[in-house]
Structure 1
Amino acid sequence: MGHILQQKGKASLERVLAALLLPHKKLYEQRDQGTDQEVLFFSRVSTPERHCSLTGQQMAAIMNDEVFKVFTTHATIVLGKVLLMGPLTAYYRFSRGAFANEEDVAQKTAEDGKDGKKLLRTHPDVERVRRCHQNDLETAVPFVLVGLLYTLTGPELSSAQLHFRLFTGARLLHSISYLGALPQPCRALSWMLGMGINFSMVCRVLYTVLVL
């Protein structure tokens, strides 16, 4: 009798454990080229390897999303332009003979036997490039951060393309206007357009996920 009860208790415990370890189905909607597709993910309470596999599937789904692809393209273009401003500043410093640190002119002083401190000066062209670079950092970094959050809110592809294309075009026009000393309001309008796009994405993110 006791043996039978022990077997029944063991069977009951096995059923409870099996129920706890059954996969829980989670249904997600994935928007692909304007059509809703249902993607089924399974999560188990098991090993870390299973969680890593799920993470890989989710990351692959994100990388294949059209909105994310558009964002990645334009973010790379904008950041690439920001990176180019550093070498451009160095070029203007050497070509204009305007340096900011004593060690920068120490070798030139030893070679020419002249007072290198005369090269420790500012030049309008160098300062213009530096200001353009600073403005890029103030605008492009928020674009990348807010733009990433914006893509996670599931915007329409056409709306996302409009935001990203306008921002990229505005920043390119801003740099051309700044470095080429184009008359105002070319630079001001391009700056305001870029800032407006950033604020538009901020509003979209807050409207979608605001929790206080």
Structure 2
Amino acid sequence: MIRNEVFSCFVFYAVLLVIKMYTIAIITGQVRLRKKAFANPEDALRHGGLQFHREDPYVERCRRAHLNDLENILPFLFLGAVYSLTGPSLTVARLHFLVFFLARVLHSLAYLLALQAPTRSLAYTAAQVPCVSMAVQILMSVASFA
């Protein structure tokens, strides 16, 4: 059992984010199958022929959503874990984690559903705010040791 409440809160949201990333990966694979648009010739051959070794706009949209998750969630996982060790208040930490989580869910929905601009950009920006805040607080807590 994890006894650090802030770290436990972080782990909760971190696991939800990893599940969300897996979900986007599965969606991408399913869309590839449905659209018969395969990135590799061997996959295209298995599913009907080399004519299906091609790109599809919606497959690419799903793939970009997944790539964006990798570019943004992985840094959050590092920042959130280290931030949890700096002794922040549970309420403030929970707010950081929740805002990031909700913004990333909205960002994925905006990407996959092609929601009207600037929905995706606003969600991206909202997710960056807690990351920048955590990074600054981490640096402030360790600066005297540098």
TM-score tier (shorter): over 0.9
Q: Where do 1:170-189 residues align within 5 Å?
A: 170-189=103-122
Q: Which residue of 2 aligns with 1:35?
A: none
Q: Which residue of 2 aligns with 1:82?
A: 21
Whether the 8 Å CA contact 2:37–2:44 is kept in 1: the answer is: no
Q: Residue 41 of structure 2 is aligned with which of 81, 97, 102?
A: 102
Give the TM-score of the pair, scaled to structure 1: 0.66
Paired residue type of 1:132: A
Displacement of 1:88? 1.1
Q: Distance in 2 between matches of 1:162 and 1:90?
A: 33
More strand by share: 1
SS for the counterpart of 2:88 is coil
Q: 1:108 to 1:180 in 2, by over 3 A?
A: closer
Q: Residue 145 of structure 1 is aligned with which of 74, 78, 81?
A: 78
More helix by share: 2
SS for the counterpart of 1:132 is helix
Give the TM-score of the pair, scaled to structure 2: 0.95
Q: Distance in 2 between matches of 1:68 and 1:108?
A: 45
Displacement of 1:105? 2.1
The sequence identity of aligned pairs, in percent, is 39
Q: Which residue of 1 aligns with 2:12?
A: 73
CA displacement, residues 113-142 of structure 1 (integer Å, 9 cap, x when unaligned): xxx221111101100000000000011000
Q: Distance in 2 between matches of 1:131 and 1:141?
A: 15
Q: 1:145 to 1:95 in 2, by over 3 A?
A: same
Structure 1: stretches of 5+ with no match in the other structure: 1-59, 110-115
Higher relative contact order (CA 8 A, sep 6+): 2
